[in-house]
Amino acid sequence: QGQFTLLRDTRTDGSFLVHHFLSFYLRAGCKVCFVALLQSFSHYNVVAQKLGVSLAAAKERGQLVFLEGLQSCLDLLFGEEEQPGQPSPLQFLSCRELRALFDFVRASLAPADGQAWNGPVLLLDDLSLLLSLGAAPVAVLDFIHYCRVSVCCQLKGNVVVLVHSNEDSEDEENELVVNSLCHHSDLILWAQGLATGFCKDVHGQIKIIKRLSLRQAAEQDVVQIYQYKIQDRNVTFFAPGLSAAVL
Amino acid sequence: LVFTEEDKYGLYSNLLFKYFLAEGIVCGHDLFVASAKEHPDNILKELPAPLLDDTCGKELGDEAAAVKSEDFQESMKIAWRYQNLPKMEASPTTYTKFGHYYDVSKKMSPELRQSVKWHSFYLHEELSLEPETKAWNMNSGYARLLQSIQRIISQEGFDGSDPQKKQRNVLRIGIQSLGSILWGDDVCCSDTPEDPHSLTKFLYVLRGLLRKSLSACIITVPAHLMQNKAIMERVTNLSDTVVGLESFIGSERETNPLYKDYHGLVHVHQIPRLNSLICDVSDTKDLAFRLKRKQFTIERLHLPPDLSDTVSRASKQDLAGSAKLLSSGCGAMAIGKKHLDF
């Protein structure tokens, strides 16, 4: 069965994890469906090139299916009338239904003839945005559930999703979605800003939670904590308190 | 997408807004000004005049030269440990020639203003012209504004759709007081607004338009009126840069002697992380602004040395509470709730 990984950030920006997983799965030869809602294609492309992967080339050879949310949104609102058989995946902007988005995901990861990739992967950046655009929290959870059944169980692939959260957040819908997803994830990577405030050498701390208790009743979750510093082409991880600036 | 949280009376955020537009004129960019409060023509008439390069450079140059020659001879006697720290530059140094300086007491000349092409969107005029809007499931004022922006972008070729155009220019968009009741959105008045997603959807579509064209946008929002904080969080996630202005007018900080040199604080909540894993974080996070007769400056927050020994407990607590993020540059003050009395 495939794995559901949840990327979570609090008080900091966890998008470096998205870039990592994108280049990681592409290098591993998996077929990736990337639903990029927040940034443009060229942004991901530039960063991926620094990490050694070309998104444009991956798209050419059919390894990467890239949904650029911003462009699709403009097409939907300013473009011509859509054909009846091909609803835009961003239809939820007008009708609050995430069905079209799910159909898009399923169609792009369906095994095609003549292509043997190492396993399908769905990558989503970011889920909290769906709530901002009018989807109800229950609809979002349903969508994720459908994706998980389709990708993890049926296709034996992996799903990686990024969400934002905040302590003392007043965004209850978002907290609901995040908490629910935490309970159903196999692996949680939680990037947090340091509790002591801003620091030049340590950009944050990452908590890695392996939810072994999900699959087997008697197991305990394994929690690891590292601190990290983001550089131009790389992210370095180290044990808390042992950053290079201190040693 | 630069998102500015307005200060309580809108004085200073309006100033920043005008600076953005004035810079656009001086650089020769096209402008698009949208407002529901004042007619854009009036806004444009009030833009500050740019300081001519030679006089401005000379003034700042003189000051900087005077300061430098003094400091050179001094060497610290008591606080010698601090000698090795780099000298803190409170205001921007003269050799960085990025942008222009403006004289707030003078208005920009009409000839300069007319040297660029500008478009305006005044909500109350627009609504009366075209009552129909496509069913976008969004506040109609916002929808009209988006349509107008998109029309200008594609007509004037900012999205690169016209390969014939040799000179590509930048479009600077300024939107004033978005989200206020004047736009027809009750997100600033009630805790449970009628359509909480209008503002965020608007920002998302605007973000798409900005990414696909050569434009930059500044939006000011009366965030202090918003009671639903969840929307502010979502809006922050949707913007590239978020800056908040907190003015001291009418608050207890106005009379606090520690802040006497300044008119308010600048909170940088978010900076863009585009096309890269890292972002350009500055060394200090404490910025304050002041409005002198001719200039509006943003500087690092400098606390004067704590010389009096009868400073009351109340003001010390106040400062400690509000200065949680003080950087190490202001080494004189104790950080945290407990103080060590020397």
* Domain ranges (residues) in chain B: 2-49+99-300
Query: Average pLDDT, whole number, for chain A?
Result: 82
The ipTM (two decimal places) reads 0.86
Q: Which residue has the higher pLDDT, B282 or A162?
A: A162
Residue B204: phi, psi to the nearest 5? -65, -45
pLDDT band at B90 (very low <50, low <70, confident <90, very high): very low
**Which span out of A148-157, B58-67, B159-168, B220-229 was modeled with the highest average pLDDT?**
A148-157
Mean pLDDT of A175-189: 89
**B134: chain A residues, CB-CB within 8 Å:** 77
**A13: chain B residues, CB-CB within 8 Å:** 273, 279
- Maximum distance among all Cα pairs of chain B, rounded to whole angstroms: 74
Q: What's the confidence (pLDDT) of residue B57? A: 36
CB pair distance less than 8 Å for A171 and B283: no
Position B308 pLDDT exceeds 60: no
- Quick one: closest CA in A to B147, which residue? A78
Q: Which residue has the higher pLDDT, A116 or B300?
A: A116
CB pair distance less than 8 Å for B277 and A19: yes
CB pair distance less than 8 Å for B237 and A133: no
- CATH number of B2-49+99-300, picked from 3.40.50.300, 3.40.50.150, 3.20.20.70, 3.10.105.10: 3.40.50.300
Position A27 pLDDT exceeds 70: yes
pLDDT band at B280 (very low <50, low <70, confident <90, very high): low
Q: What's the confidence (pLDDT) of residue B338? A: 34
Q: What's the confidence (pLDDT) of residue B39? A: 64
Question: Which of B35, B224, B230, B59 lies closest to B118, judged by CA?
Answer: B35
Chain B touched by A229 (CB under 8 Å): no
Q: Which residue has the higher pLDDT, B338 or B209?
A: B209
Mean pLDDT of B162-176: 69
CB pair distance less than 8 Å for B230 and A16: no
Q: What's the confidence (pLDDT) of residue B341? A: 38
Min mean pLDDT across A228-232, B238-242, B273-277 is at B273-277
CB pair distance less than 8 Å for A47 and B276: yes
CB pair distance less than 8 Å for A230 and B278: yes
Mean pLDDT of B252-256: 61
Q: Is A32 exposed, middle or buried (0-12, 13-18, 19+ CB in 10 A)?
A: buried
Least Cα separation, residue A56 to chain B (angstroms): 15
Position A51 pLDDT exceeds 70: yes
Sorted by sequence, the CB contacts under 8 Å of residue B15 that are 6+ apart come out as B104, B291, B296
Q: Which residues of B touch A (CB under 8 A)?
A: 134-137, 146, 150, 197, 200-201, 204-205, 207-209, 211-212, 228-230, 233-234, 237-238, 273-279, 281, 283, 285, 324-325
Q: What's the confidence (pLDDT) of residue B135? A: 53
Query: Average pLDDT, whole number, for chain B?
Result: 62
Least Cα separation, residue B197 to chain A (angstroms): 6
A246 DSSP assignment: T
Q: What's the start-to-end Cα distance of chain B, in Å?
A: 48
Mean pLDDT of A141-148: 90
Q: What's the confidence (pLDDT) of residue A239? A: 80
Residue bearing tokens 């020769």: B28
Position A140 pLDDT exceeds 80: yes
* Rounded alpha-carbon distances, angstroms, from residue A139 to A104, A127, A133, B208, B247: 16, 12, 12, 24, 41
Q: What's the confidence (pLDDT) of residue A82? A: 56
Element housing B63 (H / E): helix B53-73
Residue range A3-192 in CATH 3.40.50.300: yes
Chain B interface, best mutation among A72, A132, A233, by max B CB count within 10 A: A132
Taking only the tens place, the pLDDT of each residue in A93-137 is 666 678 888 888 888 888 776 677 778 889 988 888 888 888 888
Q: What's the confidence (pLDDT) of residue B97? A: 42
Chains A, B: CB contacts within 8 A come to 103
CB pair distance less than 8 Å for B200 and A132: yes
Position B191 pLDDT exceeds 70: no
pLDDT band at B166 (very low <50, low <70, confident <90, very high): low
Mean pLDDT of B252-265: 65
The amino acid at B12: Y
Beta strands in chain B (DSSP E): 2-5, 30-35, 48-50, 102-107, 118-122, 171-175, 215-221, 241-247, 264-270, 287-291, 296-300
Taking only the tens place, the pLDDT of each residue in B97-135 is 445 566 666 676 777 667 767 777 777 766 654 544 555
Q: Which residue has the higher pLDDT, A51 or A197?
A: A51
Q: What's the confidence (pLDDT) of residue A110? A: 81
Mean pLDDT of B207-214: 82
- Quick one: closest CA in A to B328, which residue? A199
**Which span out of A89-93, A110-114, A240-244, B197-201 was modeled with the highest average pLDDT?**
B197-201
| The token pair that represents B92 in the structure block | 């921007």
| The token pair that represents B200 in the structure block | 């965020």
Mean pLDDT of B9-37: 63
Position B289 pLDDT exceeds 60: yes
Position B295 pLDDT exceeds 70: no
CB pair distance less than 8 Å for A129 and B238: yes
Least Cα separation, residue A1 to chain B (angstroms): 32
Which DSSP string corresponds to A181-199? Answer: HHHH-SEEEEEE--TT---
| The token pair that represents B146 in the structure block | 């988006």
- Quick one: closest CA in A to B233, which residue? A171
**Residue ranges per domain, chain A?**
3-192
Beta strands in chain A (DSSP E): 4-10, 31-36, 64-68, 120-125, 158-165, 187-192, 204-210, 222-230, 235-238
* A73 → closest Cβ in B208, B230, B278: B208
Position A174 pLDDT exceeds 60: yes
Whether the CB-CB separation of A214 and A186 falls below 8 Å is answered with yes
This prediction has a pTM of: 0.76
- Quick one: closest CA in A to B137, which residue? A94
